[in-house]
Amino acid sequence: MDAAAEISQESGFTGESGAARIQERLQKRHQERIDDAERRKEAKESRSVAEEKGDYFFGTFNKERESIEDILSSCSGADRAVLTQKLEEATAKLLQLQKFLSDSTMFLKPYDLRQAQAALQKLQTSLTETREEGLPKKKFAFRTRTKAKDKSSAPEADTSPDAVTPAESGTSEVDGSAASVQCGISNMDNQCLTKTAEEIQKQDVLLSHLTNCKVHLFGAPSTLHLKHIDSCEILCGPVSSSVFIDQCKNSTLAFPCQQLRTHNTTDTQVYLHVTSRAIIEDCRGVSFAPFSWSYPTLEEDFAVSGLDQNLNNWSQVDDFNWLAAGTPSPNWTVIPEGDRRTSWDP
Amino acid sequence: MGLLTILKKMKQKEREMRLLMLGLDNAGKTTILKKFNGEDVSTISPTLGFNIKTLEHRGFKLNIWDVGGQKSLRSYWRNYFESTDGLVWVVDSADRLRLEDCRQELSSLLQEEMLAGATLLVFANKQDLPGALSKEAIKEALALDQIKSHHWCIIGCSAVTGENLLAGVDWLLEDIAARIFTTD
Ligand SMILES: Nc1nc2c(ncn2[C@@H]2O[C@H](COP(=O)(O)OP(=O)(O)OP(=O)(O)O)[C@@H](O)[C@H]2O)c(=O)[nH]1
Ligand SMILES: [Mg+2]
């Protein structure tokens, strides 16, 4: 029913102010209906755009794939000249298809991307096989030639860049093994450990083989590595690039960083501020909440790290072992608000 | 005319090169690529699939492929070997704990037939970190001196400061150009 008609009709039965009120209410309801319809339409449109793009992608991808398969299967029995030409065509098409896939990664779901990559790999393998079957000699001729050439020029290639390379910076010293010392803490049990800004600022920090420890890192390191951590609480100031975790269990971690890369980790809580993305690989029972630890110089350390304090993608975690479309990874969860740590006192 | 000769001819016309960037996850591949291209490096996420950049440099058209190095993606690396002129192997020079991993992955790559003709550039990246190993130490750890099958070179660099990225790419282009555009 037309909204204007509805309003004028109803206002005919009521007094002045009542009519205004009803009119207002109706107007509001009408607006809500419009908004709602708009929302539904938008959602539908964006969904269908994504679907259309996906459909278009797979339509084209599969057509191209089949045509390459056809070329390859027509290779058997062909004479050398024809075969060469066919292989050339297949190679060019395959490269094009690779490019097409890479141009489409923006809107493809991770699962679809994997499928397409697997299909490309299969094509690649059969192309290589077909070539090996049909043109074994050519290939070896090429290899032998490069090899022979390499023998004479490889040492020269190794030394020549030194000429174009400006003198090495202070980090490299005469004795490679003694040249640099990594900043960090290793092999500790049942300890409370602290590092200050002076110790870790702009450093690459490594914590390894710690059990039942409480670690407070005040300051802004360049990067942080955690390896073999068991039942620890590790809190760290803003890390300007990546945090890399391997083999950590039953622990609580908190830090801001640019990237988080978590591997082989189980039953661990991460209170995270991440400005790009967090990923997990080969993990179970990892849970996330927004970074909530604080200490007096946190703001200054954020400034030193260069991280954007207002940009936090803590809940957008990619699982490299779970790229299925639609279904969320069973390997990580968001910590429910009621269960989050609020106090970080030592 | 063989396939490779044809491809060579095709490339000669366009002065086009295909570079493949590989290395362990977190090495800094995507950061190097973006820094080299003058883009913002602060928003880079770990690579889920791959990135491709086409850019002009010193009169060459470079197709640079940057493939994710996460363990679960490494089996897909071979998808990108075809027609590679230059392999850029990126190392996190401060990641001592994974140098052995790094050596193994590189050495198995170098045995790949499809990469047989490619020039190898090793970027000893993250030289800005105080704990970074020197390029000499990396050369030793990766046993580069034992490589006889490829032209190779190692350069210490930093994707964050941009130091030596140009020197590395220039060496690579020169080596490839000498091989594919002027010989025969
Ligand atoms: N300090 C320092 N950090 C760097 C340098 N290059 C890269 N990084 C940091 O290292 C982390 C990983 O860099 P990426 O470029 O994502 O690494 P990648 O090799 O592409 O990793 P994958 O995509 O997983 O294969 C990021 O946090 C970068 O900011 C460098 O030269 N110095
Ligand atoms: Mg990357």
Best residue for ligand 1 mutational test, from B20, B21, B29, B31 (most atoms within 8 Å of Cβ): B31
SS3 content of chain A, % helix, strand, coil (to 5): 50, 25, 30
| Per-window interface: B 91-130 vs A, CB < 8 A | 94-97, 113-114, 116-117, 126-130
Tell me if B153 and A161 make a contact (CB, 8 A cut-off): yes
Q: Are B132 and B95 in contact (CB under 8 A)?
A: no
pLDDT at residue B11, as a whole number: 57
pLDDT at residue A100, as a whole number: 81
The residue whose CA has the least distance to atom 23 of ligand 1 is B47
Facing residue for A158 by CB, picked from B140, B153, B167: B153
φ, ψ of residue B112 in degrees (nearest 5) = -70, 125
Q: With 70 as the cut, is the pLDDT of residue B50 above it?
A: yes
Atom of ligand 1 nearest to the CA of B90: 19
| CA atoms of A92 and B10, how far apart (whole Å) | 11
φ, ψ of residue B153 in degrees (nearest 5) = -165, 145
| CA atoms of A227 and A207, how far apart (whole Å) | 6
**Side chain identity at residue A189, one-letter code:** D
pLDDT at residue A272, as a whole number: 98
Tell me if A171 and B117 make a contact (CB, 8 A cut-off): no
The mean pLDDT values, 10 residues at a time, for chain A of 346 residues are 37 49 74 75 64 77 91 87 87 83 74 82 84 62 35 37 34 37 89 95 96 97 98 98 98 98 98 98 98 96 97 96 84 97 87
| CA atoms of A247 and A226, how far apart (whole Å) | 8
pLDDT at residue B6, as a whole number: 58
| CA atoms of A216 and B87, how far apart (whole Å) | 41
pLDDT at residue B181, as a whole number: 73
DSSP conformation class of A212:
S
Strand partners, A280: A262, A319
DSSP run (H or E) holding A286: strand A284-290
DSSP run (H or E) holding B5: helix B3-14
The tokens 């395959």 sit on which residue?
A94
| CA atoms of A169 and B160, how far apart (whole Å) | 15
Strand partners, A289: A271
Helix (H, G, I), strand (E, B) or coil at A324: coil
A-chain residues within 8 Å CB-CB of B131?
A: 180-183, 203-204, 206
Facing residue for A171 by CB, picked from B51, B127, B149: B127
**Side chain identity at residue A109, one-letter code:** K
Q: Does B164 count as an annotated binding residue?
A: no
> CA torsion angle for A297, A299, A302, A307 (degrees, to 10)?
170
Tell me if A281 and B70 make a contact (CB, 8 A cut-off): yes
pLDDT tier for residue B184 given thresholds of 50, 70 and 90:
very low
Q: Does B61 count as an annotated binding residue?
A: no
HSE, side-chain direction, 13 A CA sphere, residue A291: 25
pLDDT at residue A24, as a whole number: 75
- Mean pLDDT of chain B, nearest integer: 91
The residue whose CA has the least distance to atom 6 of ligand 1 is B28
